[in-house]
Amino acid sequence: MPEIGATLREARVRARIDVSEVEAETKIRAKYLRALENEEWDLLPGPTYVKSFLRTYAEALDLDAKLLVDEYKLRHEHLSEVELQPISAAAQARGRRRSGPVVPRWAVIGLIFALLIVALSLLGRENEKNPSAGNTTTQTTTPPAGAGGANPPPAAAARPAAPPRMRLRIVATGQVYVCLKDANKTLIDGETLQAGERTRTYRARRFRMTLGNASVKLFVNGRQRRVRPSSNPIGLAIRGRRALQPLSKIGRPYCE
């Protein structure tokens, strides 16, 4: 078979293709294409790249890429000493590397069984020497009362922390009915506030109220809370730092 480089060069010249055109098509740099045509293998990155470039270049020239790659392997790739050995010799060499002192499985099992018997025997002798060792019970010594050792009373169960007291003030932005209660008493007994009217500041841990409409501004701890408009009376509960909680018709407070 002709030289690999000559085959590539002749096919390119015969097709009247310039190296720069092949470079643009194959994305292989022109200096590598010339190295393939001149068989300057040392100028290429390595055997893997040589075979990849050679295959791509041959396919671009409509040549038998597999034939050229096989020719390159045959001429320029050197097999290792192990690969050059006969199959039987290579297998023997691998066998020698893997071989070593092999302990039969039955011997390992027998050794474990013997060690287990010896351990049980030693444990039985120890129990015969100290028969009460396995029956030892732990006794709890109660210090005598009055000697500074009296048992302390059980700790009282922790009580849940009470919610903090809040400040509430109502500012009417229109005519609105207000019924306001805390946990124990009525704070606003069904009064109708006029636009711009303000209530005093109330303090409690929990508030429940009924509003005739949403024409109010609620200030909880100095912060305004929004009241959503509704065509029905509005029931709200305020506790701790939670947002306004709507109340059902049954849960709303009623004033006389």
pLDDT in tens, 97-137: 554 456 678 788 988 988 989 888 888 777 666 655 445 44
Q: Which residue would you say has higher pLDDT here, 140 or 53?
A: 53
Say if residue 24's pLDDT is above 90. Answer: yes
pTM reported for the whole predicted model: 0.38
pLDDT value of residue 170 = 93
The single residue listed with the structure tokens 């009376």 is 233
Q: Please state the rounded mean pLDDT for residues 135-161.
A: 54
Per-residue pLDDT tens over the stretch 37-81? 999 988 898 889 999 999 999 898 889 989 999 989 988 876 444
pLDDT value of residue 201 = 92
Q: Please state the rounded mean pLDDT for residues 1-6.
A: 78
Task: Tally Cβ neighbours within 10 Å of residue 182.
Answer: 20
Using pLDDT thresholds of 50, 70 and 90, give the confidence band for residue 165: confident
Quick one: three-class SS letters along 44-77?
Answer: CCCHHHHHHHHHHHHHHCCCCHHHHHHHHHHHHC
Q: Return the SS3 of 178.
A: strand
Lowest mean pLDDT among 83-87, 204-208, 241-245: 83-87
Say if residue 93's pLDDT is above 90. Answer: no
Say if residue 164's pLDDT is above 90. Answer: no
pLDDT value of residue 136 = 47
pLDDT value of residue 83 = 44
pLDDT value of residue 226 = 83
Q: Return the SS3 of 187.
A: strand
Q: HSE-up of 76 (CA within 13 Å, CB side)?
A: 17
Q: Which residue would you say has higher pLDDT here, 149 or 44?
A: 44
Report the DSSP beta bridge partners of residue 217: 171
Pairing mode, strands 176-181 and 202-204: unpaired
* Residue spans per domain, the chain: 4-76, 166-246
Contacts 24+ apart (CB under 8 A), 188-195: 188/255, 189/255, 189/256, 190/255, 190/256
Say if residue 7's pLDDT is above 60. Answer: yes
User: The domain 4-76: what is its CATH number?
Assistant: 1.10.260.40
Using pLDDT thresholds of 50, 70 and 90, give the confidence band for residue 175: very high
Say if residue 240's pLDDT is above 50. Answer: yes
Q: Measure Cα distances from 74 to 6, 61, 71, 86, 199 in Å.
A: 17, 22, 5, 18, 103
Per-residue pLDDT tens over the stretch 187-221? 999 899 999 999 999 999 888 989 899 999 989 88
CA 198 to mean position of chain CA atoms: 54
